[in-house]
């Protein structure tokens, strides 16, 4: 699985303008089985999501994010293999 950290590169007003399309893209990722979770960083300087797939697959998918298409965020990708999970999160190890 891949942890993706987003860092906003533009004013929050531009992020807010793009957010509805970004949220639609995230929801489609859940429906497709690619996205496991997503959320904003606090303070709101970016976001993060956890995605299934190879590094290349997730990078290609993330490149279609409206934030990426508009150059509004930088992306950092970290591949992880879960080995210790809280009860109820066993599916993340698959």
Q: What is the CATH number of the domain that holds 61?
A: 3.30.70.1060
**Per-residue DSSP letters for 35-89?**
EEEEEE-SSSSEEEEEE-S-HHHHHHHHTTSHHHHTT-EEEEEEE-------TT-
Q: Would residue 29 count as lying in a domain?
A: yes
**What is the rounded average pLDDT of the residues 35-62?**
96
| Buried b / exposed e along 35-56 (16+ C-beta atoms within 10 A) | bbebeeeeeeebbebbbbbeee
Q: What is the span of the domain harbouring residue 76? A: 2-81
Number of domains into which the chain is organized: 1
pLDDT of residue 85: 86
Residue 33 is assigned to a structural domain of this protein: yes
8 Å CB contact between 9 and 75: no
Is 90 exceeded by the pLDDT of residue 94?
A: no
The residue with greater pLDDT, 85 or 30, is: 30
pLDDT bin (cut points 50, 70, 90) of residue 90 is confident
Whether residue 56 is contained in a domain is answered as: yes
**What mean pLDDT do residues 3-20 have?**
97
């Amino acid at each position: 699985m891949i942890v993706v950290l987003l860092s906003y590169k533009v004013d929050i007003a531009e992020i807010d303008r793009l957010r509805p399309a970004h949220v639609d893209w995230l929801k489609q990722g859940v429906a497709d089985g690619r996205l496991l979770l997503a959320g904003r960083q606090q303070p709101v300087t970016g976001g993060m999501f956890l995605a299934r797939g190879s590094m290349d697959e997730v990078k290609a998918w993330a490149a279609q994010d409206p934030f990426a298409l508009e150059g509004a965020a930088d992306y950092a990708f970290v591949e992880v293999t879960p080995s210790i999970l809280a009860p109820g999160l066993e599916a993340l190890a698959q």
